[in-house]
Structure 1
C-alpha cells in the first residue's frame, strides 16, 4: 500500500489542559484547554472537538464518494459529529460518537444507505471500528 499523506502535529505544554497544537505546515495552530464541563475555562479547543472536526470532514468525503460510486447526485451535504468523553466507575476514560449527516436530493432510505456505505469507506470509521461505539443518524435536507 502506498502512503498517500502523513499529517504531522506537535503538542506541547500540558496537553489537553493548556497545551498548544501546531501542524508541520503551519496551517493548524491553536491552544488546547479543558471544556467547562471538565472544570476548564472553555476558552480553547479540546481533543474531542478536533476529533469531531476531522471525523466529520472525512465522513462527508466518504458520503460523497459512496454517492458517486452509485451515480447518485447529492444536492447538499452537511454533518454534525458528536464526540462524547465518558469516565467510568473503573476510573477509565472512553469515547463514543454520533454522526448526523443530512443529505439533499435523496430520500430517507437512500440517505441511510449512503451513510452506512460511508461508514465502511471513511478511514476514521475504520480506525475506530470495534473500539468506539458509533451511532449514525442520517436525515434528508
Structure 2
C-alpha cells in the first residue's frame, strides 16, 4: 500500500436476488427493491444498478467541482447541476457501462466551466475509478467538452 494512501470511508451494501432482488446498505439508508430497467421488461417502482451508479457519480462529481472551486477561491452557485446518464450495453457475450456527465455551473462562463470540469474529472473518485475501464463523456450545458485521451484513459495521475 502506498504510504500516502489513507482510507477515509468504507460503504457496505448487500444485494440478494440480483437485478430482480433487493439491495440494502449496512446503515439501512438504502433499502430498495431492484429490477431490470422497466424498458427492458422490469417492474415499475424499483431501481437498478445503473440508476444507483448515475446517482452516485453525479453527486461525487459535484463534490469534486466544489473542491476545485474552493481551491481556486471560488464558490459554486447553489443551483449548480451535474446530470449523469449511465448506459448499459452488450458487446459480444459481455456487458459494459458508459457514462455522460453534463454540468451546468450557472455562475461561470463556458471556458471557466470547462476548465473546472476537466479538473474535477482528474480528482473525482468515480472518474478515477472508471478511468481506462469505461467511456466517460463530459458535457457543459449539453455541449461535449473535448477530452484528451490521457484525461480519460489509463490510471489516475501519480500512480
TM-aligned CA deviation for residue 42 of structure 1: 3.3
Looking at structure 2, the residues matched to 70 and 2 of structure 1 have their Cα atoms a distance apart, in angstroms, of 24
Looking at structure 2, the residues matched to 119 and 99 of structure 1 have their Cα atoms a distance apart, in angstroms, of 10
What is the aligned-residue RMSD (CA, Å)?
1.4
Unpaired segments ≥5 residues, structure 2: 143-159
TM-aligned CA deviation for residue 41 of structure 1: 2.0
- Identify the match of residue 70 of structure 2 among 44, 68, 71: 68
TM-score (norm 2): 0.82
- Identify the match of residue 131 of structure 2 among 119, 129, 138: 129
TM-score (norm 1): 0.92
- Identify the match of residue 57 of structure 1 among 31, 43, 59: 59
Off by >2 Å, runs of 4+ in structure 1:
none
| Total equivalences in the alignment | 137
Looking at structure 2, the residues matched to 42 and 130 of structure 1 have their Cα atoms a distance apart, in angstroms, of 33
Cα shift readout 1:113-138 (whole Å, capped 9, x = no counterpart): 10110001100000000111011002
What SS does the corresponding residue of 1:72 show, helix, strand or coil? coil
Unpaired segments ≥5 residues, structure 1: none
Match of 2:19 in 1: 16
Asked if 1:112 corresponds to 2:80, the answer is: no
What SS does the corresponding residue of 1:116 show, helix, strand or coil? helix
